[in-house]
Structure 1
């Protein structure tokens, strides 16, 4: 198992470019791609380092044609009843100067609604002989560093300085499933295999570019808003073993995400990947199975790759169909909170 100390000592910018350009199968440690020095901007950006000025400028030139804008932010009050003991959003309107003006006060958990998972959100196992249960966050950051409020290492402030901006591409699995008679529930362990994502990209005419921000629509926000009752929402929130549909967690999915050069991935699923992670998935030939894995441990703790969840992709899907194109410019401004763990996306798709 790799660690920060095993990475060669070379100039930071050179090491970052070298590792982010290395094919997946040639990575020295696929669970530990940590090119930035502890506490540095490069470490804080993680995989967002792919969003160079040239990449962002090219995305703006090629994607912004009509000026049509679509918000990707779901209602802050939803999930109105969330699992994992996540408290609902509180919004207080406070009078000021005797009612001459008003302020508002928000108390909310970004994980309850549309959110970017920051690099402090999820760790991965890095056991040692002395500490077999040891887990580390991106760059080798420890839980003690995160709970030390004077320490802002790998906090959201790094993403907030430049935003998450570039070319977005949507793979509309929900629409594909409707066309092909695939019936599923978003609160299930339904998994989207890589071969289907590739088929959707081919059907939509999507050709990926390095630095793309990938969006996968599974239909979760639509199902919550239009198909679930208050009773079924409460039943989900109280379920001690919730299930979330999403992309399958396999090494071939990891290889594809890395080698296509995605700077970030997002979707309207609760966990982006299927949850809980499965031990195995059917192979493409249908004759065998392939091992499953927990991709959050690779994407966040291993690669520093932003993971977006519960984005509202319904209007985006309609806009893409109407305009006949599945690419758009993404402008996302995470909260500038030093040491922050996650953030509402504050995200627009611009056509």
Structure 2
């Protein structure tokens, strides 16, 4: 870990002076732009390559760019134009797409968090105090994708296969619902898979959304989802105990095949069973992105990854991801491979 990362990223969750504001680096610096990815040091990546690359099998984690072909939040489908060049001697293509519509990394410009003041009780800020005015100023590229693109998001990936666990446990759910995965279940899956974590790991959670969309949902159901004014997405619970685990395990990034990674909309509380005190809920995007500078991956295609992990009977692999080198970019297709 670099000296710049040590003061804050080596601190335990419960010792953080402000769990909503774990900011690092001067404005406009590389350290600021990397955010939590500062954990991916050359030593961490070299160790991951040595321990994870054994058989040479590769699996793409990129879902079809045309998905979601019917999306919510007024997100338009991808347009792909094939353009003739030199009278048909050659061809170019033109892409018009919203990265949030398919597999994507949420960048640090994607989501803000509330930081109210007496003078401005409605104030919201992005990572390291970046304002909306800075985001919309196209001459300002603070915390843009270019910082991630220059080094990539590489390291040891670990998969917690909730979809397979749920099948074994006869847990029935819809991925476009408010079904949530508690930390206790993620830990149980890790134990079943004999998976231990290392600092700098990139966490993947498979819930089965892309499979459901591709093989089970009708066109009518997709249209109903797209026009809903209150869409629901299954995902991991948004709780302080989940945040504590993510921080203290030292994950550099989190990702999944769910639409929002965490359950959406966020819940006020989560039940722990009859007679037990409910656990307070929170919106983890505000902590992970605006508070910690941690990438969140969504709608990654984890189906073949799940198959390969079961074939090799291991749930760790080397990840290589190359976000778009767009100065001031907000989000990006992952361009991601898992290498075994």
**TM range, normalised to the smaller chain?**
over 0.9
Give SS of 2:262's match: coil
Quote the Cα distance in structure 2 between the aligned partners of 1:28 and 1:45: 21
Structure-2 residue corresponding to 1:175: 164
Of 175, 182, 189, 1:193 maps to 182
Q: Deviation of residue 42 (structure 1)?
A: 0.2
Q: What is the CA distance between 1:15 and its match in structure 2?
A: 4.7
The match for 1:54 among 18, 43, 47 is: 43
Q: Distance in 2 between matches of 1:285 and 1:168?
A: 36
For the aligned residues, what is the CA RMSD?
Answer: 0.9
Q: Take 2:218 and 2:272, find their aligned partners in 1: how far apart are those partners?
A: 36
What's the offset of the Cα at 1:315?
Answer: 0.1
Verify: 1:134 aligned to 2:118, yes or no.
Answer: no
**1:125 aligns to 2:98 (yes or no):** no
Distance 2:256 2:228 in 1: 23
Give matches, 1:50-199, under 5 Å. Answer: 50-199=39-188
Question: For residues 128 and 111 of structure 1, what CA distance do their matches in structure 2 show?
Answer: 31
Question: Which of 189, 212, 216 does residue 227 from structure 1 map onto?
Answer: 216
Say whether residues 1:17 and 2:6 are aligned partners.
yes
Determine the structure 2 residue equivalent to 1:333. Answer: 322
Residues of 2 paired with 1:328 and 1:75: CA distance? 22
C-alpha distance in structure 2 between counterparts of 1:49 and 1:15, whole Å = 8
Q: CA deviation at 1:18?
A: 1.3
User: Contact conserved, 1:190 with 1:274, CA < 8 A, in 2?
Assistant: yes
Confirm or deny: 8 A CA contact 1:16 1:36 kept in the other structure: no
Question: Structure 2 CA distance, aligned partners of 1:345 and 1:271?
Answer: 15
Aligned-pair distance for 1:287?
A: 1.1
> Which whole-Å CA distance do the structure 2 matches of 1:185 and 1:285 have between them?
23
The gaps in structure 1 that reach 5 residues or longer are 1-12
Residue 343 (structure 1) aligned with residue 332 (structure 2): yes
Unaligned runs of 5+ residues in structure 2 are: none
Count residues in correspondence: 339
Q: CA deviation at 1:71?
A: 0.1
Q: 2:229 aligns with which of 221, 240, 261?
A: 240
CA distance in 2 between partners of 1:151 and 1:17 (Å): 28
1:286–1:315 Cα change, 3 Å: farther
Superposed displacement of residue 35, structure 1? 1.6
- The answer for the alignment partner of 2:272 in structure 1 is 283
Q: What aligned pairs does 1:278-317 form with structure 2 within 5 A after superposition?
A: 278-283=267-272, 287-317=276-306
Runs of 4+ with >3 A deviation: none
- The CA distance in 1 between the partners of 2:88 and 2:275, in whole Å, is 67
TM-superposed CA distance for 1:282, in Å, is 1.4
Contact 2:203 2:255 in 1 (8 A): yes
Looking at structure 2, the residues matched to 37 and 96 of structure 1 have their Cα atoms a distance apart, in angstroms, of 46
SS state of the match for residue 98, structure 1?
A: helix
Structure 1, residues 287-322: CA drift from partner, whole Å, max 9, x if none?
110100000000000000000000000000000000
Does the 8 Å CA contact 1:195/1:284 hold for their aligned counterparts? no
Partners in 1 of 2:3 and 2:169 — Cα distance?
A: 46
CA shift, 1:14, in A, is: 3.8
Residue 83 of structure 2 aligns to a residue whose secondary structure is: strand
**CA displacement 1:257-305 (0-9 Å, x = unmatched):** 0000000000000000000000000137861101000000000000000
**Residues 286, 341 of structure 1: alpha-carbon distance in 2 compared, 3 angstrom cutoff:** farther
Which residue does 1:322 correspond to in 2? 311
User: SS where residue 222 of structure 2 aligns?
Assistant: helix
Q: CA deviation at 1:17?
A: 1.6
CA distance in 1, matches of 2:30, 2:242: 28
